[in-house]
């Protein structure tokens, strides 16, 4: 006998957020997560996951900029907090220093998400693998870009179209005590704010050119047959793939030295030091500050090659790695074609999708789409008409991109950005970002009243 009103498949960021929004409104939720333990567990773990916790962060530990005055993802943070977001609440509990970014201790964050959901009496968390889409009962599919093969096949049959795919790569994590601070130094770019939250490893021109050549020559993970001609998403492109785009590409990307004066290179003429030719940055990855991730260094190099090559970086000569980089395949739907404006499958309206499987990109965006899917489902279950967030807000702009504004033929994963917002041509370019956020904050207020508990 069915005891739940809605079934959510996938306990990642989007599924957890959707369950929270529904559970907080009194609906009975069954949240199925295929990762688990115990004698009766019949699930599995994806190639990218390390543990069994809900909302595990498999790539970076950063939710990116928290600046809601002139940054689109910071504005999205702001709007989600106004919606009593589970993910934003857990992030606040697990936050670690990262300058103006919002970064978290992964383990504390995941544990907080699970604890808050478990405290809701009408949300049942079940460790089980779901192999087929339900045919009639309401369901939210939030299995993300790492959907298990059987369920992916069922989704393929229901959509009548092949899913798109791209690669996602994971950055290595280094033990803090093995970093040589006689070579490296702490600083944020331009020392923005008053904190110095990044460890910086400096390179001379000669060191950079040698490192660049070694990246190109390094032994990579072999491709499987189904991986041929699968595109990368630029936001998580492997470091060696970036290097292939040109010898200077990394110096204008993750290894940009601008705004980072090296105090170890100080002279009487330049007491604050001088800019290195290139810099490798590391960001704190846990609350204790014992492990740090290599910013922008997601990679598909073989593990032994990673250890050898990354130890040539100044300051990392004796580095020990808590985790090495890896590569996994991501899948997502052509949502502008397949989904309606409330994220339901056009050919099976009982099925709603949420998170990265819809083609949004990024932790925050995934959780935001899960939040909206939960609100949509709660309105539907309550017999109320769903009111979409204004197109001028970060939530509304992201939803509009997924459900119709994007070009179907060239649809690719997208982070939230001001390019998705209705333009403000009458505002000077230098003031436009602030104008976008001010407009969003003003116009979202009536919508927040419509979704309040």
CATH of the domain at 256: 2.40.30.260
Q: Does some domain include residue 48?
A: yes
Residue 235 annotated in ligand binding: no
Residue 359 annotated in ligand binding: no
* Domain end position, chosen among 329, 355, 381: 329
* Domain end position, chosen among 281, 307, 329: 329
In the prediction, which pLDDT does 224 show?
A: 61
Distances (CA, A) of 88 to 25, 269, 394, 443: 18, 46, 15, 21
Question: To the nearest 10°, the Cα dihedral for 360, 365, 367, 368?
Answer: -110
Mean pLDDT by 10 residues, the chain (453 residues): 86 97 97 73 56 85 94 97 98 95 96 98 94 90 84 86 70 93 91 75 96 94 62 79 95 93 83 85 87 92 96 97 82 90 95 94 95 98 96 96 80 85 87 95 96 91
The per-residue DSSP string of 23-55 comes to HHTT--EEEEES---STT------SS--S--TT
- Say whether both 249 and 304 belong to one domain: yes
* Domain end position, chosen among 329, 362, 381: 329
Residue 10 annotated in ligand binding: yes
- Say whether both 225 and 306 belong to one domain: yes
Residue 447 CA, distance from chain mean position: 26
What's the predicted TM-score (pTM) here? 0.82
Strands 62-65 vs 348-353: parallel, antiparallel or unpaired: unpaired
In the prediction, which pLDDT does 290 show?
A: 87
- Say whether both 157 and 16 belong to one domain: yes
- Say whether both 96 and 185 belong to one domain: no
Spatial separation of the C-alpha atoms in residues 6 and 441, rounded to whole Å: 32
Which CATH number characterizes residue 424's domain?
A: 3.50.50.60
CB 59 within 8 A of CB 171: yes
Spatial separation of the C-alpha atoms in residues 202 and 278, rounded to whole Å: 6
In the prediction, which pLDDT does 371 show?
A: 98
Phi, psi of 161 (to 5 degrees): -145, 150
- Say whether both 215 and 143 belong to one domain: no
Number of domains within the chain? 2
CB 394 within 8 A of CB 76: yes
Which DSSP helix (H) or strand (E) runs through 9? strand 6-9
Residue 13 annotated in ligand binding: yes
Spatial separation of the C-alpha atoms in residues 306 and 300, rounded to whole Å: 9
Residue 445 belongs to domain spanning: 6-163+333-451
Residue 326 annotated in ligand binding: no
In the prediction, which pLDDT does 253 show?
A: 93
């Amino acid at each position: 006998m069915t005891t739940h009103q809605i079934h959510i498949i996938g306990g990642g960021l989007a599924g957890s957020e959707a369950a929270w929004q529904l559970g907080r409104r009194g609906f009975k939720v069954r949240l199925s997560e295929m990762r688990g333990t115990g004698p009766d567990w019949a699930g599995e773990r994806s190639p990218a996951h390390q543990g069994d916790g809900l909302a595990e962060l498999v790539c970076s530990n950063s939710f990116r900029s928290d600046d809601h005055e002139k940054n689109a993802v910071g504005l999205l943070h702001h709007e989600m907090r106004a919606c009593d977001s589970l993910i934003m609440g857990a992030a606040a509990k697990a936050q670690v220093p990262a300058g103006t970014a919002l970064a978290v201790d992964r383990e504390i964050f995941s544990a907080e998400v699970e604890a808050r959901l478990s405290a809701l009496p009408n949300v049942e968390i079940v460790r089980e693998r779901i192999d087929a889409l339900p045919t009639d009962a309401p369901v939210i599919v939030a299995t993300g870009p790492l959907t298990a093969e059987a369920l992916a096949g069922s989704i393929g049959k229901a959509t009548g179209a092949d899913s798109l795919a791209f690669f996602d790569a994971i950055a290595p994590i280094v033990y803090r005590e093995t970093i040589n601070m006689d070579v490296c130094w702490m600083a944020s770019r331009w020392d923005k704010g008053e904190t110095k939250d990044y460890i910086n490893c400096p390179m001379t021109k000669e060191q950079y050119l040698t490192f660049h050549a070694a990246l190109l020559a390094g032994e990579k993970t072999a491709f499987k047959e189904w991986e041929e001609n699968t595109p990368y998403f630029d936001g998580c492109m492997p470091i060696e793939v970036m290097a292939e785009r040109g010898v200077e590409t990394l110096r204008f990307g993750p290894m940009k030295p601008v705004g980072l004066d090296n105090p170890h290179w100080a002279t009487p003429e330049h007491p604050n030091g001088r800019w290195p030719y290139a810099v490798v940055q590391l960001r704190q990855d846990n609350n204790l500050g014992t492990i740090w991730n290599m910013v922008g260094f997601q990679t598909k190099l073989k593990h032994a090659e990673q250890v050898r090559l990354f130890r040539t970086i100044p300051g990392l000569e004796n580095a020990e790695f808590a985790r090495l980089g890896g590569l996994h395949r991501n899948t997502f739907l052509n949502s502008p074609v397949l989904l309606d404006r409330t994220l339901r499958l056009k050919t099976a309206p009982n099925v709603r999708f949420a998170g990265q499987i819809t083609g949004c990109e990024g932790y925050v965006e995934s959780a935001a789409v899960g939040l909206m899917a939960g609100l949509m489902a709660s309105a539907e279950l309550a017999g109320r008409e769903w009111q979409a967030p204004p197109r001028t807000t970060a939530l509304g702009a992201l939803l509009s991109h997924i459900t119709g504004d994007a070009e179907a033929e060239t649809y690719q994963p997208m982070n939230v950005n001001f390019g998705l917002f209705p333009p403000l041509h009458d505002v000077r370019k230098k003031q436009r970002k602030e104008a976008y956020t001010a407009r969003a904050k003003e116009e979202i207020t009536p919508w927040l009243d419509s979704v309040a508990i």
